[in-house]
Structure 1
C-alpha cells in the first residue's frame, strides 16, 4: 500500500509506504542520526531501525513527512501492528531544525488515523517536547522503561555459580537458531516485543556489525551429549564500540528453570565477558514495574541512567 497526498496543514507532504527503497531508508537513517546527535538518544528503537531495510514486513508501515517543494525529509514515523492483543505501536521523529512547526502533530494525527485511534507511542528519553506532543494528541503515559548502567572497572561481580547439571557455552549461528527462538518466545511470552522475534529478526541482528557469538551465552542441562541437552536460558550481550559501552542485551530463562539463580549467574557471566572486552560501562533496559528484576540489577550495582516512556490512547 502506498499513499501520497498533501496533509491539510500546509508546508508538508505525507507519504505512507509498506516498504522503503534503499534511498528512502538511507534518508531516514540520516535523519535519525542527525536527531540522535541533537537529542542524545535514538528516536527509533533498534527493531524499528532494522525494519527500515529488507523490503516489506508484515504489519509495518512507514510515514515520510517531506517538504513539498524541496522534497527534503522533515520527519518520519513507523507504525507496527503485529500484536494480536495490544494496540499498534509507533515511534516518530522530526528533524531537529524543523521542529515547532506542527510536523510532530501532523505525524501524530496521521498515526492516530491509520491506527483507528487505538495507538501506543514511544518517547525515548522522556523529553519534555515528547510529553507535550503526547498531551496534545490525547495520549496518556502507561509504561516506563528504564536504562540502567554500572561501571565495569573495578569489577565486583563474583564468579557465577550455576545450578547442578547446567553448563554454559556460546551460540552457534545456524545450529542454535530454532532452540533459541523457542526459549526466547517462552521466556518472554508476556513481553510482546521480545517474545515475538522471528528467524528474520534474528537474522537481521546476526547481520549487524556488532553481532559477536562469543558474547552470546547459552545455558543447557540434561543429557551428556550435545544433542541430548536442553537449552534453559541465555544471556546475549552487545558491544557499542563507538560509545565504549557494553549492554546486557537480553537475558532469558525458560519457564521451568526460573527461580533457581540461573538468571543471576548468566548475568554475571555476561558482565565478566564485557569487562574482559575492556569496556568501562555496562547498560541494560528493564521495565520499571518489574520490581523483581530491578531489585536484582540494583544489587548488581546498576542505577537508573535514563527513561523511555510509552503513551497510549484511552480506548
Structure 2
C-alpha cells in the first residue's frame, strides 16, 4: 500500500482541506462515540504550532493526522479501517521523526493498541472520562449531596475576565505543575478559550478566601451550545487549601450550575492515578464512560 500526506499549510486556512479534515474527524467521532483529536491539539493547529495532514490512498482521503511538538495524532476513516492504512501511515511518518514521541488513543481502541505495540510505543498515561446523570432540579439538589459541609470562610462566584486572568494562570500552573498540558497554559491560551463560543464567565466558578479575596480554587465548566452533557472542564484547589472541602464544594456548585443550564449529564476527565480526585468524583456519583491512553515511544 502506498499512502501519501496532503498538507494545507501551517493551519486550517484552506477551506476545502479544512472541510475534509473536519469531515473525517466528525465521521470518526460519530462511529466511535468520542472525538479523535483533543481540544489542545486543535488549538495548536489553529495557532500554527502543529501541522494537520490528510492521509490519501490512490487519490481518496482515508484519514487525518496532526503532527508536531513531539506528538502524533492519527485517525483512519471508519469505512476504510482494517485495510492497513494506519500501519502504512506510521511506517511513512515515523522514520522522519526521531526521538521521543507521544500519541493519544482516544477510547483505548484495540486497533491503536496493536499499532502501538507494532511500532514500539508503550502505554504511559491513562485518562478516564467519568459521567453522572443530572436529575431535574427539585429545589434542593441531590439528596446524597445535602449532607455536604461547605468549606469554611470561602465564597464562590464567577470568574471576572481581565481582572482574574493573571491570578488564575498562576494558580493553575501551581496546581498542575506536574501535568504536561494543563500546567503549561498561558494567559494567551486562557484568552483563546475565552474567545470560544462555549465560554461563559458564569460557568467559570472561583472559590475565594472571604477575608483576603485570594482565589483558593476553581471549577471551570464547558457547555457547548445545545449540548445535553456539560463538562467539568478543569477543577483545581490551591495546595494550601487542600483537605478543607473546597474541591467538594466547588464540584457541588458546578453540578448545580450544569443542572440550571439545562444539562442532563455531567462529564469530566481525570488521570487514572489521581487517587484522591477519582475518589471524590466517584463519591459524587460519577462512573466510568471511556478511557483514553497516551502512548510514548522511547528514543532508545
TM-score under structure 2 length normalisation:
0.88
1:41 corresponds to:
34
Matched, 1:127 2:109: yes
SS at 1:105 equivalent: helix
Q: CA–CA distance in 2 between the matches of 1:32 and 1:97?
A: 13
SS at 1:275 equivalent: helix
Change in Cα spacing, 1:48 to 1:115, as seen in structure 2 (3 Å) is same
Change in Cα spacing, 1:242 to 1:94, as seen in structure 2 (3 Å) is farther
| Deviation for aligned residue 1:297 | 0.8
Q: From 4, 7, 12, give the equivalent of 1:12.
A: 4
SS at 2:162 equivalent: coil
Matched, 1:252 2:236: yes
Matched, 1:216 2:216: no
TM-score under structure 1 length normalisation:
0.84
SS at 2:223 equivalent: strand
SS at 1:52 equivalent: helix
Could you list the runs of 5+ residues in structure 1 that have no partner in the other structure? Answer: 1-8, 82-87
Change in Cα spacing, 1:29 to 1:167, as seen in structure 2 (3 Å) is same
- Kindly indicate whether the alpha-carbon contact (under 8 Å) linking 1:150 and 1:302 is maintained by their aligned counterparts in 2: yes
- Kindly indicate whether the alpha-carbon contact (under 8 Å) linking 1:187 and 1:195 is maintained by their aligned counterparts in 2: yes
Q: CA–CA distance in 2 between the matches of 1:281 and 1:259?
A: 27
Alignment of 1:75-86 (within 5 A): 75-81=63-69
Matched, 1:282 2:274: no
1:165 corresponds to:
153
1:198 corresponds to:
186
Q: From 142, 148, 153, give the equivalent of 2:124.
A: 142
- Write out per-residue CA displacement over residues 208-245 of structure 1, whole angstroms, 9 at most, x where no aligned residue: 2211111110111265xxxx621121000112444400
Could you list the runs of 5+ residues in structure 2 that have no partner in the other structure? Answer: 137-141
SS at 1:167 equivalent: strand
1:269 corresponds to:
253
Change in Cα spacing, 1:129 to 1:243, as seen in structure 2 (3 Å) is farther
Matched, 1:21 2:3: no
2:139 corresponds to:
none
Alignment of 1:298-309 (within 5 A): 298-309=282-293
SS at 2:214 equivalent: strand
2:74 corresponds to:
92
Name the Cα RMSD after superposition: 2.3
| Deviation for aligned residue 1:14 | 4.9
Work out the number of aligned pairs and report it.
292
Matched, 1:186 2:174: yes
Change in Cα spacing, 1:117 to 1:283, as seen in structure 2 (3 Å) is same
Q: From 94, 118, 133, give the equivalent of 1:151.
A: 133
- Kindly indicate whether the alpha-carbon contact (under 8 Å) linking 1:159 and 1:268 is maintained by their aligned counterparts in 2: no
Change in Cα spacing, 1:110 to 1:250, as seen in structure 2 (3 Å) is farther
| Deviation for aligned residue 1:300 | 0.7
- Write out per-residue CA displacement over residues 146-199 of structure 1, whole angstroms, 9 at most, x where no aligned residue: 111111116333386443332121012222211111111111001111111122
1:6 corresponds to:
none
| Deviation for aligned residue 1:279 | 1.7
Bigger drift between 30-39 and 147-156 goes to 147-156
Q: CA–CA distance in 1 between the matches of 2:58 and 2:248?
A: 54
- Kindly indicate whether the alpha-carbon contact (under 8 Å) linking 1:90 and 1:111 is maintained by their aligned counterparts in 2: no
- Kindly indicate whether the alpha-carbon contact (under 8 Å) linking 1:76 and 1:107 is maintained by their aligned counterparts in 2: no
